[in-house]
A and B are shown apart, each in its own frame.
Chain A
Amino acid sequence: MFQANYFDGRSTRVRVVNLSVAGDDLIIAGEDIDFRIPFTDVMVDERLGRAPRRLRLKDGTFCEVRDLDALDTLLSSTAHRDGWVDRMQRHLQFVLFSIVACVALVVMAYKWGLPWAAAKGAHTLPPAIGRTLSVQTLKLLDGKILVPSGIPEERRQALSAKFHALRLPDGGTPHSELLFRSSPQLGANAFTLPDGTIIVLDDLLTAIGDDPQALAVFAHELGHAHGRHGLQLLLQSSAVAAFWTLYIGDISNLLAAAPAAIVQARYSQDLERQADDYGAALLMQNGMSPALLADALERLAESHSGSSKGGYLSSHPSTDDRMRRLRQLGVSFKNK
């Protein structure tokens, strides 16, 4: 038997009562109260630390219990069982396991879950969204980071013509637009907007030199466009930003993320390999060797060495591996 406060739910009057169990019944007895009810009609609050627990009766009245140990003793003589979440919260091993599991799950979600979901999302979103995003991004970049191209008109037209004459591995022709720009900040670079528009910068064309290698780079970028990697990356960075917003609680920078994410796109090795494979297939489809892309990468690597600017390759990791793979494809292409 132990004391608790009884409240009738209609006023704030405190009534001190004694609680005890007889058979299957709870007995509540105090100054002007004395009744018993079957324990199956009593709802017991789960344990939350050392907070008082309430025994709630069906008519909205309840007993507020502060003597938690006495309540535990009383409960042990009834059919009451603690909920599983309650037991987890108090179990030291489970709490330690939870810490490890939380960290592991977050890491796994970031490494595998997020790219998978973003790729699915990028292929499901209506193309209109990619187009609007690209128009917005280009508007933001033009005149700030990007300036008009200095490449002679004839060379640009010739390159465009060759680009649009390419046959895609699925038999079609590129529906991507090819835009020429220059940028002191971005240097020798080319990137793909979410709708597949390819932007090639002057320095890249200068570094590469000949047209077949330029086409090889375009083929690689068409791989990114085909895989919708730009949109995927954008979704990924939005999701990460949203996560930090929830975790840290700051909403401000969520909106400014889009243009930055596209320019600084750091594709994973996996996405680069996908784009390389697509580019290689595309080149072979057009009777060109995949080795051309390797050559282009090599030229770019040379032009980058000694320059502090992060260029095309800084967002394209482990260039040596990629060149090796492409050259192997080139050898098998020649032998056919």
Chain B
Amino acid sequence: MDNVSESESRSHASSPRAPEQLHFTGNGAEYFGIWIVNLLLTIVTLGIYSAWAKVRRLQYFYRHTEMAGSSFDFHGSPSRILVGRVIALAMLIAYNYSVRLRSPLTIVILVAIAVVMPWLLRNSFRFRLYNTSWRGTRFHFRGTVARAYRVFLLNGFLTLITLYVMAPFMHQRLKAYQHDNSWFGRTQCSFHARAGQFYVIYLLLLVTLVVFAIVIGFSGIGGAFAALSQAQRQGGHPNPLAAFRALAILYGALILMGISIGPVFHALITNLIWNNTRVGEHRIECNMSPRVLIWITASNFVLVVLTLGLFIPWAMVRLARFQMESVRLLPAGDLQEFVAAEPETIGAVGEEAATAFDFDISL
């Protein structure tokens, strides 16, 4: 009897529940209407409406993403986002002008920005997660400010002085900070990828870049630039054709890199990160195919350029569908049993400042 019940309970524990595939149900034509009205109102209001536009955009994408028959939701308030944007804009202007006009104030402004940044980034995680919900239960970010300073300032400094040898390590630390401190209701998330796994992917990236650089070198860009600099030394005017050729190869190479190496790296690192993240005991499986991501990125790029931007809504929807549908939750138990935490209020300043300074923290 004992044996039977034990084997029964074991089979119950080990028999995995059906994986919950994420689905994205939006479509480009539908989103186009929302996108163009957002754009028009943003222009007409000289940018003020952009905060409301952002909320509509995020709500469109969150609400069209569903898991186990329920969709996600975004709750951010536009007025808070607007305040965040104003502060971010002020910081961006201060940064630009302090870099351009080297004055005694420059160093003060740069130091001030460096000191404020970790705090802002931590707040941006908080804002984004707190305003995300599924089945009425919100996510939370509980990382401390002190740890934010260690992750961003100390590791950032180490990365710089080791000439980026520490970059994969820093990336791993950043993700650990983000995911270990994320909560869904009262359920804590955890992060299990080791720095070594980040190094493998970064090494692959490095090798590809070196090979790519060699190929570019053979493609004649070196010759084109040599001809240009020789013309300049002789005091003559550079040959416009040679200049055009050099620039065409350079930009072509950059674009090629952006739509090939970029997506491969993105897919590999995203898979690594999500495959090693758990929500309580529930595991996540992320299976983003680098090949398909290259195809989507490249075709999106071409179509957005050819349509002068009008394809952007379709491009965003295609990418979102691909990204969402490569994620599955492997439940370890009942998904009905998550419990919500106490409500909080959180401002958007950090999130907006982080976007304005172009930190890619969305992985």
Contact = CB atoms under 8 A, between A and B. Distances in A.
Interface of A: 5, 7-14, 48-52, 54, 60-62, 64, 85, 88-90, 94-95, 98-99, 101-102, 105-106, 109, 129, 132-133, 136, 184-185, 247, 249, 251, 254-255, 258, 308-309
A102 B39 contact: yes
Interface stretch (B11-19, B118-126, B129-137): B129-137
B99 A49 contact: no
Nearest to A8: B136
What is the predominant secondary structure among interface residues of chain B facing chain A? mixed
25 contacts: A11-B336, A11-B337, A12-B185, A12-B336, A12-B338, A14-B135, A48-B34, A49-B64, A50-B30, A50-B64, A51-B25, A51-B59, A52-B71, A85-B41, A88-B37, A90-B33, A95-B36, A105-B40, A109-B43, A129-B101, A133-B100, A136-B100, A185-B232, A185-B237, A255-B100
Nearest to B137: A12
A179 B15 CA distance: 84
Contacts of B192: none
Contacts of A54: 73
A255 B96 contact: yes
Q: Top 6 A-B pairs ranked by shortest CB distance?
A: A51-B63, A7-B136, A49-B30, A12-B135, A184-B235, A12-B338
What is the predominant secondary structure among interface residues of chain A facing chain B? mixed
Contact of B135 (A7, A254, A308): A7
Most buried by B among A5, A11, A105, A254: A11
B86 to A, nearest CB: 15
A94 B103 contact: no
Contacts of A88: 37
Given A12-B335, A136-B100, A254-B96, A308 B237 contact: yes
Contacts of B283: none
A227 B236 CA distance: 34
Given A48-B63, A102-B40, 9 more contacts: A5-B70, A11-B338, A12-B338, A51-B25, A61-B136, A85-B56, A90-B33, A94-B37, A184-B235
Contacts of B39: 98, 102
A50 B25 contact: yes
Contacts of A7: 135-136
Interface of B: 25-27, 30-34, 36-37, 39-41, 43-44, 56, 59-60, 63-64, 66, 69-71, 73, 96-97, 99-103, 134-137, 185, 232, 235-237, 309-310, 335-340, 358
Contacts of B103: 132
A11 B340 contact: yes
Contacts of B185: 11-12
A50 B33 CA distance: 13
A89 B33 contact: yes
